[in-house]
Amino acid sequence: MKNNIHTIKNILLLALTLTILNSCDDFLTEDLKGTFSSSTFYQNDKQAIQALNGAYQALAFGNPNNAIWVFGDVASDDAVKGGNPGDQSEITYIDEFMADANNGFVGNYWSFLYEAVARANNVIANVPAVPMDEGPKNRIIGEARFIRAYSYFHLVNVYGKVPLKLLPQLSFETIHVGLSEVSDIYLQIEKDLTEAAAVLPPSYSPADAGRVTRGAALAMLGKVNLYQQKWSAAIDYFHQVEVLGIYGLLPRYADLFTLANENGRESLFEIQQLADQNPSTGSALNQWFAPAHEGGYYFNAPTQGLVDAFEKNTAGDVDPRLDASIGREGQPWLNGDLFNAGWSPTGYLTKKHQQPLSEVSSSLKGDGGLNYIYLRFADLLLMKAEAFNEMSSPDSAKANLNRVRQRARAGFPGTPPADLLADIMVSDQNLLRSAIQHERRVELAQEFHRYFDLMRWGKTIAEAALGAEFNYDTRRYFPIPQAELDSNQGIKQ
């Protein structure tokens, strides 16, 4: 199992021991044990950390409302809903771009992200007054700012214009907030990340591994600028990450998605999960994605188009990332057996985010301990390659792109064939752009990025990938949930 399991992931442990309630002075003559009012909490550094841990816990995959995989993968051309046809049928509406404001997954993911925003807002608002050393205090606030920025980044990319709530929900004005322009939301995201990067440390001791670092904030700043096509700024932030000298590619691609390499050299930011706790702090992704005979629901089924995107040569050799990412007929599965195409309606299942039965039994499938890597160094290199290409610097673009391909090539068993995953040599901007986009698809397959990439690449690419039923102008963003429209008086309908 994991090294330092009870220290590396203590971010989650205290988060679920705490209930913060509004005070009600005449309810009991004696304070309830184990609960805190807003006036009695945030009294010391321990409570500040507990509140911050609660904000981290709000991002975890034990919460079924964390549906980033539905929007990142199923809404794209890389996956379909999978599962039994009638199970979680609302995902089908997202897959087919027919989701309305009453769709449960549309509403639940909104609530999930705003819960993280609310917890981060409470930390940012209350920790400044806590009597404690300024260094740890600033770090705590910086971590909360990153969590808020991460949450708003997903809100703005799934829903477009959303309410920009930056204060605790304690008054009519802070609860009923109107929609902000996308550009204004990005400005706030950049502000939060810039302030976080200024105070966060480059690394932590093993006891705090998994907390947000300076590198994570800088990488996220680069990504946010890339999404806004601010190419030069994105390159600068990615360069700042690299000069820290902390991050690099793991030698073997397949090793990325294992317990042994959590919070490792390639990881910039990952959502921490911890199995075997009461109450549970484990990941449910095992159960969502595993085949039925392992206790899973076999959702997020990869498409034939994704499988075909992995390079093959005339001898039939294939990019080794395919079998590290996707289960397919007759190839080794996670438990030493061979994959059976009948396990999935498409004939394929994702391998990532799953653990073998030796680590998570079928009866405990929804309590996995494997982290989700949101940002990793290979992603940074490909984003940097993209920005350099858009700045008409093909040599720099190819240098970053080919570092990723060379690592993938090194994963081939034995001597890699000369005609498989060779370095990209073209310098034409359009051809190089296509090569980078292709590389992102296979390198980051089933890591919940594809839909967002298609949307930021624009109408022509998105509509070509998603088919005739997708209209970029009317379907790029998902609808604001009806519950929010009904309850938020700040939104003008």
Domain range annotation of the chain: 7-200+458-493
- Residues 46-97 have pLDDT tens digits of 999 999 999 999 999 999 999 999 999 999 999 999 999 999 999 999 999 9
The token duo for 340 is 């059976």
pLDDT, residue 134, reads 96
Residue 375's SS3 state is strand
Q: How many CB atoms lie within 10 A of CB 4?
A: 12
pLDDT, residue 166, reads 98
Query: Cα–chain-centroid distance for residue 427?
Result: 32
Q: What is the pTM of this model?
A: 0.92
Q: What are phi and psi of 260, to 5 degrees?
A: -65, -20
| Positions of E strands within 370-418 | 372-376
| Positions of E strands within 320-475 | 326-327, 349-350, 372-376
Q: Consecutive 10-residue runs of the chain (493 residues): their mean pLDDT?
A: 41 42 37 57 94 96 95 98 95 96 98 98 97 96 98 98 96 94 98 98 94 98 98 98 98 95 97 90 95 97 98 95 98 96 98 96 94 98 98 98 97 91 97 98 98 98 94 96 96 76
Q: How many CB atoms lie within 10 A of CB 32?
A: 12
Q: How many CB atoms lie within 10 A of CB 116?
A: 26
Distance CA 134, CA 241 (A): 25
Distance CA 383, CA 241 (A): 13
pLDDT, residue 2, reads 38
Cis before 332? omega within 30: no
pLDDT, residue 369, reads 96
Distance CA 476, CA 453 (A): 12
> Which residues have a Cβ under 8 Å from the Cβ of 208 and sit 6 or more positions away?
10, 11
Helix axes 182-199, 214-227, angle to 10 degrees: 160
Helix (H) or strand (E) holding 79: strand 79-82
pLDDT, residue 163, reads 98
Distance CA 356, CA 372 (A): 16
Contact of 306 with 77, CB cutoff 8 Å: yes
Helix axes 450-457, 429-443, angle to 10 degrees: 160
Q: What is the DSSP string of 8-76?
A: HTHHHHTGGG-EEE---TTT-SSPPTTEEETTTSS-SHHHHHHHHHHHHHTTSTTSTT--HHIIIIITT
Contact of 23 with 39, CB cutoff 8 Å: yes
Place of tokens 């990412």: 325
pLDDT, residue 118, reads 97
Distance CA 261, CA 147 (A): 23
- Indicate the pairing of strand 267-271 with strand 35-37: unpaired
Q: Which CATH architecture has domain 7-200+458-493?
A: Alpha Horseshoe (1.25)
Distance CA 340, CA 293 (A): 11
- Nearest partner of 197 among 211, 212, 225, 217, judged by Cα: 217
Q: How many CB atoms lie within 10 A of CB 250?
A: 17
Distance CA 129, CA 209 (A): 26
